[in-house]
Amino acid sequence: MMASNMPLPLPPRTPTPPADDSSYNAFTNPRVTVDRDALSPLRETFSQSFSLDSGSRDHLSPTKGSFNLSPGPAESTSEQNGSTDSTPAGPFNFNTTVMAKSPVVKSNIGQRRGHKYKHSSISHQIFLEPPPRAPLALPNSLPIPTLSECRASMSKEQKTRFWWSVCHMFVAAYTLWTAHGSLAMTALSHLILFDSLGALLCVAVDVLGNFEVWKRSSIRHPFGLERAEVLAGFAMCVLLLFMGLDLISHNLQHFLEKSGHEPHHPHPHDRVPLGSVDVTAVLAITSTLVSAIGLKNHARIGKAMRFAYIDSLPSVLSNPTHFLTLSCSVLLLVLPLVSIQIYNWLDKLLSGTIALSMCFLGVRLVKTLGSMLLMSYSGPGVAEVIKDIEAEPSVFGVDDARFWQVHYGLCMANVKLRVSGSEDNISRLREKISSLIRNRLGGGYGTGGQKWEVSLQFTIERT
């Protein structure tokens, strides 16, 4: 029969899947050439790729009705018996490919299979979740009030004090305007200007105290905004120093004029009529007393810097700035009661004295407030406190002692000691040293001095 004479085509083989790497060539055998159009029935060489006789060509022709590609019984039996006849390549034969020995590179970037490592069953006993951290006690920063917010937060009393400080500045301007007849009155106008600026600063501090950022600590401002008051006071003290130097140059100019040098411009000096009351001096005394008592003007500066020879005077006169302004105003009230010759000498003497006092006071204030800005303490009594601490029987020695002032109302002391004794004795020693520092340097309880925060570190010596 015709079917028995047909050669048996090889069974189809399962193709090897290509590698994931697009650059890998699936046909690694360079000797095998693959023609993609070999199986196309439209090519002329299609009938030559099979080793068939002439009778079977019509049977496999797709134009015939008897065209059938299913294997016959003999083909099925041969496939089941594992026959491997070396027949020519049929239309369904595939060339054998060789797998690559290199590892397959898969492009699964950005994908993750399986569980995360910290959630795997092995790492449950090794890696533990960190305990929840409590939020910081200090905020990162606090909002700083604007000018409109400050104006909206002002109370009725604060508005009254603000307008009074403005009136105090007008008194200073009026004193300077009427001081053309006296050098001492010119010096007094500079003092009143300094007092009016201090009164305005007190009102600004009181208004900023309405907000949380003024006293509450934050990471950005560890001590609040109270150190801004120290900076403003430092600027005022520099201004006071320059005003004193200006008065000294003015007095030297008048002295050279009296010595025969021709002045650059005339300086008329008309004195107050004999026996009359100097209204300007009365206004200066009134404005100074109102600002000192009502606004507590220069009260913080007076606490930071005290003079021993006026410390025993009443509270208003114990402040060096108030003492200087009031004493100058009282002397100007007395000057119209003396003769003209004595008036001229006293006027120049009083002006020079006030100028030198302003320079001396300005230098002291600049030094005190400058050390405060540099986080150091310039007050007295530190050496005596250290000696008293070393005199304690439980103290072997003081390794380190740091005393520094943050602003007008806060000072800090950090002391490192070598001590011995039981825990109860060390606890009592800690309380005793803390009270000693507060009483000696802060003025004691109830005196209204600076607040002291004491930090002690003990190194226990074994005996």
203 and 315 assigned to the same domain: yes
Number of domains composing the chain:
3
Tokens at 250, concatenated? 């003015």
Return the minimum-mean-pLDDT range out of 22-36, 387-401, 436-450: 22-36
410 and 315 assigned to the same domain: no
Return the minimum-mean-pLDDT range out of 269-278, 332-341, 419-428: 269-278
pLDDT of residue 170: 92
Q: How many other CB atoms sit within 10 Å of the CB of residue 24?
A: 14
Element (H, E) at 378: none
Letter for the amino acid at 3? A
Residue 67, classified by CB atoms within 10 Å of its CB into exposed (0-12), middle (13-18) or buried (19+), is exposed
pLDDT of residue 460: 84
347 and 404 assigned to the same domain: no
**108 pLDDT band (50/70/90 cuts)?**
low
Per residue in 317-350, pLDDT (tens digit) is 778 888 888 888 888 887 777 666 777 788 888 8
Mean of pLDDT over the chain: 75
Check whether 115 has a pLDDT greater than 70: no
Q: Report the distance separating Cα 331 and Cα 272, nearest Å.
A: 13
Which whole number is the average pLDDT over 107-134?
Answer: 58
pLDDT of residue 356: 92
Return the minimum-mean-pLDDT range out of 62-71, 141-150, 200-209, 377-386: 62-71
User: Is residue 115 situated within a structural domain?
Assistant: no
Answer with the residue of higher pLDDT: 255 or 50.
255
242 and 361 assigned to the same domain: yes
**Domain carrying residue 197:** 156-373
Please check whether residue 324 is in contact with residue 187, taking contact to mean a CB–CB distance below 8 angstroms: no
Check whether 64 has a pLDDT greater than 90: no
Per residue in 392-414, pLDDT (tens digit) is 888 888 888 899 888 888 888 99
**52 pLDDT band (50/70/90 cuts)?**
very low
**113 pLDDT band (50/70/90 cuts)?**
low
**123 pLDDT band (50/70/90 cuts)?**
very low
412 and 353 assigned to the same domain: no
User: Is residue 64 situated within a structural domain?
Assistant: yes
Which CATH number do you get for residue 388?
3.30.70.1350
User: Is residue 145 situated within a structural domain?
Assistant: no
Sorted by sequence, the CB contacts under 8 Å of residue 42 that are 6+ apart come out as none
5 and 30 assigned to the same domain: yes
- DSSP code string of 147-185: HHHHHHH--HHHHHHHHHHHHHHHHHHHHHHTGGG-HHH
**49 pLDDT band (50/70/90 cuts)?**
very low
pLDDT of residue 381: 82
pLDDT of residue 416: 92
User: Is residue 116 situated within a structural domain?
Assistant: no
pLDDT of residue 18: 60
**41 pLDDT band (50/70/90 cuts)?**
low
295 and 362 assigned to the same domain: yes
451 and 308 assigned to the same domain: no
Q: Give long-range contacts, CB 8 A cutoff, 24+ apart: 422-431.
A: 425/394, 426/394, 426/458, 426/460, 429/392, 429/394, 429/395, 430/456, 430/458
User: Is residue 27 situated within a structural domain?
Assistant: yes
313 and 210 assigned to the same domain: yes
**Which residue, of 373, 392, 422, is where some domain finishes?**
373
352 and 403 assigned to the same domain: no
**Which residue, of 373, 403, 430, is where some domain finishes?**
373
User: Is residue 280 situated within a structural domain?
Assistant: yes
User: Is residue 112 situated within a structural domain?
Assistant: no
∠ CA 121-125-127, nearest 5°, is 95
316 and 448 assigned to the same domain: no
Name the percent of the chain lying above pLDDT 70. Answer: 62
**Which residue, of 373, 407, 429, is where some domain finishes?**
373
Measured in whole angstroms, the distance separating CA 34 from the mean position of its chain's CA atoms is 74
Q: Report the distance separating Cα 137 and Cα 218, nearest Å.
A: 9
226 and 353 assigned to the same domain: yes
